Amino acid sequence: MDFRNFLNKWLRSLFVWKSFNVPPKNLIFIISILVGILSGLAAVILKNTIHYIHLLLIGNFDLAGWNILYLIYPMLGTLITLLFVRYIVKDDIGHGVTKILQSISKKEGYLRPHNTYSSIVGSSFTIGFGGSVGAEAPIVLTGASIGSTIGYFLKLNYKTVILLIGCGTAGAIAGIFKAPMAGLMFTLEVLMIDLTVVSIVPLLLSAVSGATVAFFFLGKNCEFSFMLEAPFELGYLPYYVLLGVVGGLVSLYMTKGTLFLENKFDKIKNVYLKWIIGGLTLSLLIFIFPPLYGEGYDTITALLSGNSSVIFENSFFYLFRDNSVVILLFLGYRSRFQIPLLCLIY
């Protein structure tokens, strides 16, 4: 609620500026910076909340052995999120990018104001308690909702509201990854905001503002750090092409698998039965593969650094830590079984 009061205070100030006939172009620049700052702050809040919940829960774990809490924490986190969504928000907060696209195409860019905080709360409990999902989609929805809320409060036209949704998205992605260009490219490619002189400057301002806020509060370290020792060789180019093809097929598999499981889950009318099935599946996988706990950024960083054996620590498959085939299967199943949790919570 404090965040909403803070947002409303700034919106009223902007409304006063608008009433004094501030040139529209300058007003959009000012609003885009504000949207970027607020989206960056939302990203910082989400990252820190997940981090501290994570430390609170597993800070005293015995990492050298098995821990039964790996079975309990993910289910508890998903249950808290389920109750929060069902009895407090009373609205669907899942599939963040889909909701944004739907609002742009069918709702004139309108996103409900609760999306400025509900995804942060739900994701903090889900991921902080070990749910193997990412923070990207929730923070994108949060940033887009900030832009939409400001646009509607100031009674701006449809095109400007859509631009502010893009600004919020760019600021959120830039803040969560500390990468302004990533925020800009994500907005242009996924939300398909028109690339014009009028739109590119506000999007850049929001992306830079969001990343600056993240750097200020979270430090200069990037999300994925690694050393590239081997130089690029032209002879490896076919392997890169093959990797791109395989990555595309995996993406197709993820999309089809998500839709398939969602259809199966939709047939289950009891939400608590969904929670038991999805939560128990995820908890068992985390118990077998402890590196599945949480966002998984540490695992990605270890893989980028060539330390693939880390992902098999404290697991039944530690003896296969040097087997590349098993590693690939592990990564595939990690993505595959995130889906039941997404179907359940969101």
Q: What confidence tens digit (pLDDT) does each residue in 266-317 have?
A: 888 888 888 888 888 888 888 877 777 877 777 777 777 777 666 666 666 6
**Nearest-angstrom CA–CA distance, 30 and 18:** 11
pLDDT band per the 50, 70, 90 thresholds, residue 34: very high
pLDDT band per the 50, 70, 90 thresholds, residue 340: very low
**Tokens linked to 7:** 């947002």
Range of lowest pLDDT (194-198, 204-208, 262-266): 194-198
Give 259-267's long-range contacts (Cβ < 8 A, gap of 24+): 261/339, 261/340, 261/343, 262/343, 265/340, 265/343, 265/344
Q: Report pLDDT digits (tens) over 174-201.
A: 999 888 998 988 888 887 666 676 778 9
Give the Å distances, CA to CA, from 220 to 51, 117, 214, 223, 259.
17, 26, 9, 10, 38
pLDDT band per the 50, 70, 90 thresholds, residue 89: confident
Residue 13 has a pLDDT of 65
**Nearest-angstrom CA–CA distance, 330 and 299:** 12
Give domain limits for the chain: 2-218, 234-345
**Nearest-angstrom CA–CA distance, 246 and 260:** 21
Q: Report pLDDT digits (tens) over 238-248.
A: 988 998 998 89
Q: Are 267 and 329 in contact (CB under 8 A)?
A: no
**Tokens linked to 41:** 């702050």
**Tokens linked to 314:** 């404290």
Q: Are 310 and 291 in contact (CB under 8 A)?
A: yes
Mean pLDDT, the chain, rounded, equals 80
Q: Is the pLDDT of residue 18 over 60?
A: no
**Nearest-angstrom CA–CA distance, 181 and 179:** 6
pTM, two decimals, is: 0.81
- For the CA atoms of 333, 334, 337, 343, what is the dihedral angle to 10 degrees? -140
Top CATH class of 2-218 equals mainly alpha
Q: Are 127 and 294 in contact (CB under 8 A)?
A: yes
Q: Is the pLDDT of residue 51 over 60?
A: yes
Q: Report pLDDT digits (tens) over 129-182.
A: 888 777 888 899 999 999 999 988 888 888 889 999 999 999 999 999 888 998
Residue 281 has a pLDDT of 84
**Nearest-angstrom CA–CA distance, 161 and 166:** 9
Count of positions (residues) in the chain: 346
**Nearest-angstrom CA–CA distance, 91 and 200:** 33
Give 114: exposed, middle or buried? Use CB within 10 Å, 0-12, 13-18, 19+.
middle
Average pLDDT over residues 332-339: 51
**Nearest-angstrom CA–CA distance, 305 and 339:** 27
Place of tokens 């969101």: 346
Residue 339 has a pLDDT of 46
pLDDT band per the 50, 70, 90 thresholds, residue 228: low
